[in-house]
Structure 1
């Protein structure tokens, strides 16, 4: 009986998969970052950053740049210059140069990221204001490996709501969704690597404009974002601007944000009524004001300044014929008959839309210093 048992055990082990195709980690170039840019002659330049696992190597990071027609072709060229096999399944960040996104339909270059199942779709996609090589070839001191450092920088900025977080998968959704236009994190290197805000593109993928970190906060509120940390500092023109610093500034953070959007179609154009309610806690006030007695007056001043900034962002996006807010999704949901007629050119219809925003601020706490 024991012989039969052992024979069955050996038989079952014989059909298990082995490790004939295993590759030692020292023989793999594990790409953690990809850079896509154009040189002065319009040639596609692909950068790659990979960790080095060889014990004898002094540099623990290998940064390479090659010219290639496609991203897929660049892998073969990289394999011709390094002593390891390139793998892209762990890419954390994809840097895209501004020269690239100034061309229509550049998104086709990303085809292999979606077609090849060995690639990951959770990589962060970032627009670089300047040459990609300035970031891709840099080695920040006292920081983690460059790709991991950039990943942490982007995610932290996203949690603070000063930029967006666009993954490869999310970017594909934005390009295929007709009710919104694409957007992604924007950064540059000016001495040090800095997140500068959010880059906005049109439906063809062409770069249109950039929202700075303060404008990005308002963008995310209008998109319905409620997570992360919001912090605002507003200059109130109604207050005196004197003294050592700008004494008409007030800072606060919201305790809750409520967004309601209604869509309609009147006089041959779309109409959107957006209501934003926000409870706030004061964290800084550089002017004399009795908040306890005159809170409604200060609330109104904050509402007016918020409304002014929101209107400015909306005007800029309508002029550029882009809809990063996703108001097209509301148009499709509530006015589908009219949406069908303009869905192939929503940017143009959005530029003619009437958009009304109403802000409602409620001061819930003024801090310990009155």
Structure 2
């Protein structure tokens, strides 16, 4: 009997303490989008976009900009302006302006998200080609709220492998691992908000270069992960077309990538890309026919050419978003250990061979 009474009292104390600690949604300003940038004087600007849950409010989203010395310090300034206690537990998008990206070790500003368990580390890190304010204060009349719009824009593009989603947790892993360099989504504001491709960073988190959506797709292919769809359009040369422009669009339902590495005075990588593609469109001059073997060979040669150009571009800029250093560490550890502190220099001097084997899986319902 005493045990039952003790159990009941314990449960009651838990319920009561839970009631005292709870916070209603009306008392919280959930920062669904956060942004960081630098002003003309080099001071840190922090932006926040959060939904308004008050049914009497005409505006259903509040957006603020504050000047602060750190991300944690900005919370006090936001709490002076927003209708509830600002919280980073539901942050979906983290926007980083290009001015800030050009600073070394800017990622130290993200420290509160890695220390405070109330903050999330699943938000998507996004580079802004321009000023963050151009994105976060944008209110297109034909789109949903900015947090929902940006999240949907990024997730649908990721399904097509036009970009690679990088969360805060993944970004930290890329920063601390000596065998790779970070890469994040890039977007810009012109007439409308649009995804531009990817931003590649140095080991210090500093902006190095941008690559297009097509180059991002190629990088995703070299990763070898079958996630979502691949939809490519490539120029296809043909003797029958007499040098006229011809194009083929195709998907890649089957993809296998094998990476091997050895050390012979320098690191030598061999990357074999095997894929089967389904033809979705063929734009050729009237009366011209390209047989399947010729099409396979043309796509294989074009992909091999584009992949090699991309690899040379990465080597020239001394970045390793593909994580080839991970393979060097796994299979040539003694040599890797000597080069780990200057891996990107070793990568730039490496020989990287890419071979593509492309086969037709489907020509479509009509030929």
Give the TM-score band, short-chain normalised.
over 0.9
- Residues 1:259 and 2:257 aligned together: yes
The alignment partner of 1:20 has SS state of helix
Unaligned segments of structure 2, at least 5 residues: none
Q: Residue 55 of structure 1: CA displacement?
A: 1.9
Q: Residue 350 of structure 1: CA displacement?
A: 0.4
Q: Distance in 2 between matches of 1:200 and 1:9?
A: 57
Q: Do the aligned partners of 1:239 and 1:248 also contact (CA within 8 Å) in 2?
A: no
Residue-pair matches, total = 363
Q: Residue 239 of structure 1: CA displacement?
A: 5.7
Q: Do the aligned partners of 1:128 and 1:187 also contact (CA within 8 Å) in 2?
A: yes
Q: Distance in 1 between matches of 2:11 and 2:316?
A: 68
Structure 2 match to 1:300: 297
Alignment RMSD (CA, Å): 2.1
The alignment partner of 1:188 has SS state of strand
- Residues 1:280 and 2:261 aligned together: no
Residues 138-153 of structure 1: matches in 2 within 5 Å? 138-153=138-153
Structure 2 match to 1:92: 92
Residues 168-207 of structure 1: matches in 2 within 5 Å? 168-207=168-207
The alignment partner of 1:277 has SS state of strand
Q: Residue 5 of structure 1: CA displacement?
A: 11
Q: Do the aligned partners of 1:236 and 1:250 also contact (CA within 8 Å) in 2?
A: yes
Structure 2 match to 1:40: 40
Structure 2 match to 1:136: 136
- Residues 1:216 and 2:213 aligned together: no
TM-score scaled by structure 1?
0.93
Structure 2 match to 1:345: 342
- Superposed CA offset, 1:42-75 (max 9, x none): 1110000011111221101000000001000000
Q: Distance in 2 between matches of 1:255 and 1:13?
A: 54
Q: Distance in 2 between matches of 1:260 and 1:216?
A: 19
The alignment partner of 2:338 has SS state of helix
- Superposed CA offset, 1:25-52 (max 9, x none): 2221111110010111111100000111
Q: Residue 142 of structure 1: CA displacement?
A: 3.4
Structure 2 match to 1:324: 321
| Residue 324 to residue 240, structure 1, CA distance change in 2 (3 Å) | farther
Q: Do the aligned partners of 1:240 and 1:248 also contact (CA within 8 Å) in 2?
A: no
Q: Do the aligned partners of 1:68 and 1:74 also contact (CA within 8 Å) in 2?
A: yes
The alignment partner of 1:17 has SS state of helix
Structure 2 match to 1:362: 359
| Residue 363 to residue 17, structure 1, CA distance change in 2 (3 Å) | same
Q: Residue 189 of structure 1: CA displacement?
A: 1.1
